[in-house]
Structure 1
Amino acid sequence: MKTLISLILTMGILHAAPEAIFNGKDLTGWKVEGAEYWTAKDGVLIGQSDAKKKHSNLWTEKQFTDFTLKAEFRYEGRMDSGVFVRAFNDQIQLGISSSLQRDMTCSPYIASLGKYPVEAKGVDKLLKEGDWNRLSITAKGPRYVVSLNGKQVLDYTSGTAKEKGPIGLQVHQGFDMRIEFRNITVEAIGD
Structure 2
Amino acid sequence: MMRNVLIVFCLFFISAGAVALKPKKLFNGRDLSGWKIHGTEKWYVEKGTLVCESGPDKEYGYLSTEKAYKNFILSYQFKLEANGNSGVFIRSTIDGTKITGWQVEVAPPGSSTGGIYESYGRGWLIKPTPEDEKALSPDGWNKGKIQVIGDEVTTWLNGKQMVTLKDSKIGSGNGAIALQIHSGGGIKVRWKNIVINELP
Deviation at 1:189, TM superposition (A): 1.0
Deviation at 1:3, TM superposition (A): 6.2
Deviation at 1:34, TM superposition (A): 0.7
The 2-side partners of 1:115 and 1:163 are apart by: 16
Query: 1:66 aligns to what?
Result: 71
Amino acid of the structure 1 residue aligned with 2:121: L
Query: 2:116 aligns to what?
Result: 108
Amino acid of the structure 2 residue aligned with 1:89: G
Structure 2: runs of 5 or more not aligned: 1-5, 93-99
Task: Give the TM-score normalised by the residue count of structure 1.
Answer: 0.86
Query: After TM superposition, what 4+ stretches of structure 1 lie above 2 angstroms from structure 2?
Result: 2-10, 13-16, 76-79, 121-124
Alignment CA distance shift 1:44-1:7 (3 Å): same
Are residues 1:169 and 2:179 paired? yes
Query: 1:134 aligns to what?
Result: 143
Query: 2:96 aligns to what?
Result: none
Deviation at 1:8, TM superposition (A): 9.7
Q: Which has the larger radius of gyration?
A: 2
Q: Is the 8 A contact 2:40 2:57 kept in 1?
A: no
Return 108-117 or 22-31, whichever deviates more. Answer: 108-117
The 2-side partners of 1:148 and 1:44 are apart by: 19
Task: Give the TM-score normalised by the residue count of structure 2.
Answer: 0.82
Structure with greater proportional strand content: 2
Structure with greater proportional helix content: 2
Alignment CA distance shift 1:142-1:53 (3 Å): same
Q: Is the 8 A contact 1:106 1:123 kept in 2?
A: no
* Percentage of pairs with the same residue: 28
The 2-side partners of 1:117 and 1:137 are apart by: 15
Deviation at 1:77, TM superposition (A): 4.2
The alignment's C-alpha RMSD in Å is 2.7
Q: Is the 8 A contact 1:44 1:181 kept in 2?
A: yes
Q: Is the 8 A contact 2:68 2:175 kept in 1?
A: yes
Are residues 1:117 and 2:142 paired? no
Query: 2:158 aligns to what?
Result: 149
The SS at the match of 1:160 is helix
Structure 1: runs of 5 or more not aligned: none
The 2-side partners of 1:51 and 1:147 are apart by: 33
The 1-side partners of 2:61 and 2:193 are apart by: 21
Deviation at 1:104, TM superposition (A): 1.3
1:38-78 Cα offsets, whole Å, 9 max, x none, are: 00122101000134312110000011110000000000342
Q: Is the 8 A contact 2:75 2:146 kept in 1?
A: yes
Q: Which of 1, 12, 24 is residue 19 of structure 1 equivalent to?
A: 24
The 1-side partners of 2:191 and 2:63 are apart by: 12
Q: Name the count of aligned residue pairs.
A: 185
